[in-house]
Amino acid sequence: MSIKYRRKQSQREKRLVMTMFLGLAIMVILCVSLFAAFFGTEYVIDKSLEDPDVLLNVAVVGDDIIVTIYEGRRVDELLTLSVEIEGVTLPHSIASKPAPDNGSGEVLFVGACAGITGTRDVAVRGTFSNGRSLLLKLYTVKFT
Amino acid sequence: MTLLLIIAAGCIEPHDNSSTLEPVSANHWQDMNNTLHTFVSIVDHEMDNITISVCNAARELDGVPIDDPSVNLTLLKLRRDVPFSFDVCRVDKNNTLVAITGELQNQWMVGTCQMTHQYTEEDFNTTNNECIITEFCTFQSGERGVMIIAPVYDVDGNYDGTLRLQLDVEYLFAGLVEYLRTEYGYTTWVVEKNGMKIYDEDTVEIGMNLTTNHLFQTNSTMSMVSNVLRNKSGNTSYIFYTTGWSDHTQINIVWDTVYPGYGAEWRIIVSDNVVQYTPEDRPQITSEELKNFVQKAYAYVQRVGKEEALAEFNDPNGDFINGELYIFAYDMNGTLLSLPYQPDLVGTNLWFMKDMSGVNPVQRAIARAEQGGGYVYYLYLNPSMDYVKEFKLSYVMAVDNDWFIGSGIYLHEVPFSHTYNLNIENGGKLISQVRNMQYLSKVENISSVVDMVEDPKSAVYIEGLYPFVLTENGTVLAYSRNPAIDDTNQLGKTNSYGMSGVREVISLAQAGGGMMYSLVWDSTTQHENYVLIYVEPGDKSTYFGSMLILE
């Protein structure tokens, strides 16, 4: 029977192995972070648009924008609604309104599209009782 | 429309009941023939006026260099004088388009577009100074009609190309058929000698060739078609579908031939296959109930997705059919996605479909849906009333940027819903007035036209019509019905249905112009009036329009 002895690793070899291990770990962490940043954000936006917590519609009526809330898992948690129109800076008093008391219903943004013509994107955001703000809907609206 | 869809899908089998033809009384034939002769003389007269206008305009262009500014003015004047025209163009002897009307849409074609219909000097040597009229065709814009073509000569009298007018045959006959129905109780259809149907009240039948279409392959219909195409005049009976396509009936027709120009031979058919409107005392669905119905469908789409929702909307026994109420859906290009009463039309593009006033229901609905949704008016067949045409108020909503849904109610109580009050003369005047404003703005300038609009002694004044000028931002520059709103912005003005007439007018003008209905507050009478509006762009930022009160 023969006894085999493992060769003792030098300090240099140990450092090399450790460096490789750490480098690999950092790369994995970076990849996961980047993946989450790119696809996770998109997923969250898509999810909020395709499977909405709050189902709504946006319509132009004269100078006003009417946001109609129909249903959704979180309509009861909705505190405020705000509209943003591409290329337009709306005063807070016009752009932000309280959500309907009973969850669903119409919210009127009086004068929100006064003088606005052409085709623009309109975003509707909601603020919920947990303090989070979420993009609820993004529309392309032809004002004229 | 129903017929068109059914035909397009080819799902109806021709049904031969030729043995059940009943004899027709001599009095009935006599009555139909008397009507036919009156009607044919009206068609002859209209077409004479149109071809004379084209020939006169061609003579004005003789000897005028192609790049002379007066060429465009002549084209605009001709388009004004022929309200049933789409566009007018000048083509050089190399068959290149060198000038065309259409302020916003068509100018890219100038100098680059070669015409499909090519003519040479020899072609016109055989016409005996008549205009050539082409067969029914589709124009560059996608609209359909016939082209009226006259030769133009240079200063030395040599052939120098052509003047061409695109004639909207459908709109020409739409006015005439309403007169025929109202005055005599008959309807009409028109077919070229090659069998191509160029007019029918059921617009889906337009463009169908009767000699090849499978719906006309029964013994009864083949005999009728052969008879009509072989003989320049006559009468016959055949078995065909009723207007609603739900049953068969004996249809009696008489016909005669008109020759509107060189190369054209149209059989004008007067038919007794007319839907009779029988008033029913039924409760009117309210506009609010209509809106709720569409909103319910919108929420349903968002819950279950497009495919499942469309299957439900197309199901005649589904949850989204309630008498007059049903859900229709189109994509934003005008292709029909759901129509439960006319399922065979699904997949058909109806972008160019027009009602008898020239209003395009699908384009108007899309424009409204793209504003997020709202109400829109048009005339349409009522499937729950034997497919009689009625004035319809629809509510539409965009589901997303690709498609929309809607539903409508028929406004039985509106006075002109059935005995429609718009005759060919009024519709033509409306168009002519607006095109005259366009013409005068080029002869003088837009400011001059603004001044003319409110002057009853000006060149644009026509009694009973109310012209206006509007900017792209919604500011009214002139409005003859209510000068008090001059220089005010009217974008925010809405009617009792939340419709902003000014936003819709701008949208229509930017799309090249056309007809639309609206409900407009009248400060004179202190109530809202149903109106028909025609609008066209004056230039890129100014729009000309005129309004006819329908009540």
Q: Read off the CATH number of the domain in which A100 is found.
A: 2.60.40.10
For residues A121 and A141, give the distance between their C-alpha atoms in angstroms, rounded to a whole number.
6
For B461-516, write each residue's pLDDT tens digit: 999 999 999 999 999 999 999 999 999 999 999 999 999 999 999 999 999 999 99
Q: In this structure, how many other beta carbons lie within 10 angstroms of the beta carbon of residue B173?
A: 25
- Cβ contacts (< 8 Å) between A60 and chain B: which residues? 371-372, 374, 500, 503
Of A35-49, B252-266, B353-367, give the range with the top mean pLDDT: B252-266
Q: What is the pLDDT of residue B418?
A: 61
- On whether residue A3 sits in a domain, the answer given is no
Min Cα–Cα distance to chain A from B302, Å: 8
The residue of A51, A58, A60 whose CB has the most chain B CBs within 10 angstroms, and thus the best one to mutate to test that interface, is A60
Same domain, A131 and A80: yes
B22-27, Cβ contacts within 8 angstroms, sequence gap of 24 or more = B22/B237, B22/B250, B24/B237, B24/B252
3-state secondary structure A33-47: HHHHHHHHHHHHHHH
- On whether residue A2 sits in a domain, the answer given is no
Same domain, A72 and A121: yes
Alpha helices, DSSP H only, in B424-543?
424-443, 446-453, 501-510
Same domain, A47 and A118: no
Q: Which of A39-43, B308-312, B318-322, B434-438 has the lowest mean pLDDT?
A: A39-43
**Reported confidence tier of residue B109, pLDDT bands at 50, 70, 90:** confident
- On whether residue A4 sits in a domain, the answer given is no
CA dist list (Å): B267 to B117, B191, B228, B257, B380: 23, 5, 7, 5, 27
| Residue position matching structure tokens 């406004």 | B411
**Reported confidence tier of residue B280, pLDDT bands at 50, 70, 90:** low
Same domain, A62 and A45: no
- Determine which helix (DSSP H) or strand (DSSP E) holds B295, and give its type and residue range: helix B287-304
Min Cα–Cα distance to chain B from A52, Å: 9
- On whether residue A14 sits in a domain, the answer given is yes
**A63, A68, A141: residue with CB nearest B492:** A63
For B329-351, write each residue's pLDDT tens digit: 999 999 999 999 888 789 988 99
DSSP three-state, residue B497: coil
Q: What is the pLDDT of residue B6?
A: 42
CA-nearest of B373, B380, B314 to B350 is B380
Q: Name the closest residue on chain B to residue A113, using Cα atoms.
A: B492
**Reported confidence tier of residue B226, pLDDT bands at 50, 70, 90:** very high
**B373, B494, B500: residue with CB nearest A57:** B373
**B506 lies within 8 A of chain A by CB:** yes
For B388-412, write each residue's pLDDT tens digit: 778 899 999 999 989 999 999 988 8
**B363 lies within 8 A of chain A by CB:** no
Same domain, A14 and A62: no
For residues A109 and A60, give the distance between their C-alpha atoms in angstroms, rounded to a whole number.
10
Q: What is the pLDDT of residue A46?
A: 44
Q: What is the rounded average pLDDT for all residues in chain A?
A: 84
**Which residues span the domain enclosing A23?**
9-51
A114/B491 CB distance under 8 A: yes
Residue B66 pLDDT greater than 70, yes or no:
yes
Whether the complex's predicted ipTM is more than 0.90 is answered with no
For residues B89 and B96, give the distance between their C-alpha atoms in angstroms, rounded to a whole number.
10
**B498 lies within 8 A of chain A by CB:** yes
**Reported confidence tier of residue B5, pLDDT bands at 50, 70, 90:** very low
Same domain, A41 and A87: no
Min Cα–Cα distance to chain A from B326, Å: 20
DSSP-assigned states of every residue in B394-408: EEEEESSSSEEEEEE
**Reported confidence tier of residue B115, pLDDT bands at 50, 70, 90:** confident
For A113-127, write each residue's pLDDT tens digit: 999 999 999 999 999
Q: What is the pLDDT of residue B551?
A: 74
Q: Which of B58-62, B81-85, B423-427 has the lowest mean pLDDT?
A: B423-427
- On whether residue A68 sits in a domain, the answer given is yes
A55/B299 CB distance under 8 A: yes
Q: What is the pLDDT of residue A107?
A: 97
Same domain, A91 and A118: yes
**B496 lies within 8 A of chain A by CB:** no
- Which two three-digit tokens encode residue A86? 């591409």
**Reported confidence tier of residue B253, pLDDT bands at 50, 70, 90:** very high
**Reported confidence tier of residue B53, pLDDT bands at 50, 70, 90:** very high
Please give the interface size between A and B, counted as residue pairs whose CB atoms are below 8 Å apart. Answer: 78
For residues A105 and A83, give the distance between their C-alpha atoms in angstroms, rounded to a whole number.
16
Same domain, A88 and A41: no
Domains, chain B, ordered by start: 45-169 (3.30.450.20), 287-410 (3.30.450.20), 424-549 (3.30.450.20)
Percent of chain B with pLDDT over 70: 91
Same domain, A58 and A97: yes
Of B138-152, B238-252, B272-286, give the range with the top mean pLDDT: B138-152
Same domain, A59 and A19: no
- On whether residue A47 sits in a domain, the answer given is yes
Of B136-145, B174-183, B320-329, B433-442, give the range with the top mean pLDDT: B433-442
Residue B114 pLDDT greater than 90, yes or no:
no
**B299, B473, B510: residue with CB nearest A70:** B299
- On whether residue A1 sits in a domain, the answer given is no
Same domain, A17 and A47: yes
**Reported confidence tier of residue B168, pLDDT bands at 50, 70, 90:** very high
- On whether residue A39 sits in a domain, the answer given is yes
Q: What is the pLDDT of residue A123?
A: 97
Pairing of strands B266-271, B187-192: antiparallel
**Reported confidence tier of residue A51, pLDDT bands at 50, 70, 90:** low
**A68, A115, A142: residue with CB nearest B473:** A115
Q: What is the rounded average pLDDT for all residues in chain B?
A: 89
For B170-183, write each residue's pLDDT tens digit: 989 987 887 888 88
Q: What is the pLDDT of residue B18?
A: 47
CA-nearest of B29, B5, B164, B18 to B98 is B164
For A77-112, write each residue's pLDDT tens digit: 999 999 999 999 999 999 999 999 888 999 999 999
**Reported confidence tier of residue A40, pLDDT bands at 50, 70, 90:** low
Q: In this structure, how many other beta carbons lie within 10 angstroms of the beta carbon of residue B198?
A: 23
**A66, A139, A143: residue with CB nearest B503:** A143
The structural domain count of chain A equals 2
Q: Which residue has the higher pLDDT, B349 or B247?
A: B349
Q: What is the pLDDT of residue B11?
A: 40
Q: What is the pLDDT of residue B550?
A: 86
Stretch B237-249: mean pLDDT, rounded?
A: 77
CA-nearest of B498, B438, B443, B499 to B469 is B438
- Cβ contacts (< 8 Å) between A138 and chain B: which residues? none
Same domain, A76 and A136: yes
Supply the pTM of this predicted model.
0.85
**Reported confidence tier of residue A49, pLDDT bands at 50, 70, 90:** very low
- Cβ contacts (< 8 Å) between A119 and chain B: which residues? 370
**B298, B374, B506: residue with CB nearest A144:** B506
Q: For residue A51, report the phi and psi dihedrals to the nearest 5 degrees.
A: -125, 70
Q: What is the pLDDT of residue B244?
A: 59
Q: In this structure, how many other beta carbons lie within 10 angstroms of the beta carbon of residue B248?
A: 16
Whether residue B328 contacts residue B335, with contact meaning beta carbons closer than 8 Å, is answered with: no
Whether residue B376 contacts residue B368, with contact meaning beta carbons closer than 8 Å, is answered with: yes
